[in-house]
């Protein structure tokens, strides 16, 4: 039974307006049925990246589930006349899947980030989701020559869910390229989520998240992100133009 909501068209990217609970239930059902599923949590930066990279846009168009990560994507969906219950941030989805998986005995693999980070994130995961089964970890530093061995390691672990924290768009391209070779049914690109869970990168305080100011906190912590943050005002303008042209 595939009860997926109709996707919203946000600048040509099909975003499904699931709540967190709906997303977790849908994804876990796919894992139970061993249905191949790739997930992207799309913030404004990712949707703008898709405007500049046709190959990335094409990938997002055929991704099994694109979720509204970030206040910008939620705002865009609502501005374009859709019902969007809430933002489904990649980091929060990561935690919810770990918690739900701990109840079900789901096997997870953590691939990505700098050496030692995936292991530290796995230790933290065991604290927040007691009993969680993380059956393997691998850092994100590799060359093409290492890929067959990485795929063997992931598949040999028996993992049902693969979290890949390689940064966008690299993680999406990598997961898509190896889609047929990877055994885990569910594959999720997670950007910097291992770093956050491992305590290497701070998350915005709750009040800032609730006030849709997480982007401002990230900019404060990493001023080098300013260039990337310029995607936000461009995104707002693009969405308003899109709304006007699709009336």
Half-sphere exposure of 246 (CA within 13 A, CB side): 13
- pLDDT of amino acid 208: 80
Q: Which residues, in sequence order, are bridge partners of residue 135?
A: none
Span 116-126, pLDDT tens digits: 999 999 999 99
Look at residue 66 and tell me whether its pLDDT is greater than 90: yes
Look at residue 226 and tell me whether its pLDDT is greater than 80: no
Rounded to an integer, what distance in angstroms lies between the CA atom of residue 48 and that of residue 231?
A: 6
More confident position, 1 or 154: 154
pLDDT band of 7, cuts 50, 70, 90: very high
Rounded to an integer, what distance in angstroms lies between the CA atom of residue 247 and that of residue 242?
A: 9
- pLDDT of amino acid 26: 97
Average pLDDT score, the chain: 93
More confident position, 223 or 76: 76
Q: What percent of the chain has pLDDT over 70?
A: 97
- Give the Cα-Cα-Cα angle 88, 223, 13 (nearest 5 degrees): 35
Look at residue 90 and tell me whether its pLDDT is greater than 70: yes
Span 157-206, pLDDT tens digits: 999 999 999 999 999 999 999 999 999 999 999 999 999 999 887 778 88
Average pLDDT over residues 117-137: 97
Instruction: State phi, psi for 43 to the nearest 5 degrees.
Output: -95, 180
- pLDDT of amino acid 86: 95
Q: Which residues, in sequence order, are bridge partners of residue 15?
A: 8
Look at residue 114 and tell me whether its pLDDT is greater than 90: yes
Q: Is 113 left (phi over 0), alpha (psi -120 to 50) or beta?
A: left
Look at residue 1 and tell me whether its pLDDT is greater than 80: no
- pLDDT of amino acid 96: 98
Q: What percent of the chain has pLDDT over 90?
A: 82
């Amino acid at each position: 039974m595939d009860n997926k909501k109709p996707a919203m068209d946000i600048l040509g990217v099909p975003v499904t307006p699931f709540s967190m609970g709906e997303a977790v239930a849908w994804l876990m059902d796919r894992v139970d049925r061993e249905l191949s599923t790739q997930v992207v949590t799309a913030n404004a930066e990712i949707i703008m990246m898709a405007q500049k990279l046709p190959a990335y846009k094409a990938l997002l168009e055929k991704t099994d589930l694109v979720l509204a990560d970030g206040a910008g994507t939620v705002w865009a969906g609502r501005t374009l006349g859709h019902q969007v219950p809430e933002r489904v941030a990649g980091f929060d989805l990561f935690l919810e899947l770990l918690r739900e998986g701990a109840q079900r005995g789901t096997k997870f693999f953590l691939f990505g980030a700098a050496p030692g980070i995936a292991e530290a994130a796995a230790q933290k995961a065991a604290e927040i989701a007691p009993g969680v089964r993380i059956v393997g970890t691998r850092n994100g530093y590799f060359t093409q020559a290492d890929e067959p061995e990485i795929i063997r390691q992931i598949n040999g672990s028996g993992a049902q869910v693969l979290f890949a924290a390689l940064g966008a768009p690299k993680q999406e391209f990598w997961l898509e390229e190896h889609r047929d070779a990877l055994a885990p049914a569910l594959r999720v690109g997670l950007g910097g989520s291992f770093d956050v869970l491992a305590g290497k990168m701070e998350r915005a305080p709750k009040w800032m998240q609730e006030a849709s100011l997480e982007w401002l906190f990230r900019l404060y912590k990493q001023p080098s992100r300013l260039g990337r943050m310029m995607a936000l005002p461009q995104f707002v303008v693009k969405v308003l133009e899109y709304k006007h042209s699709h009336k």
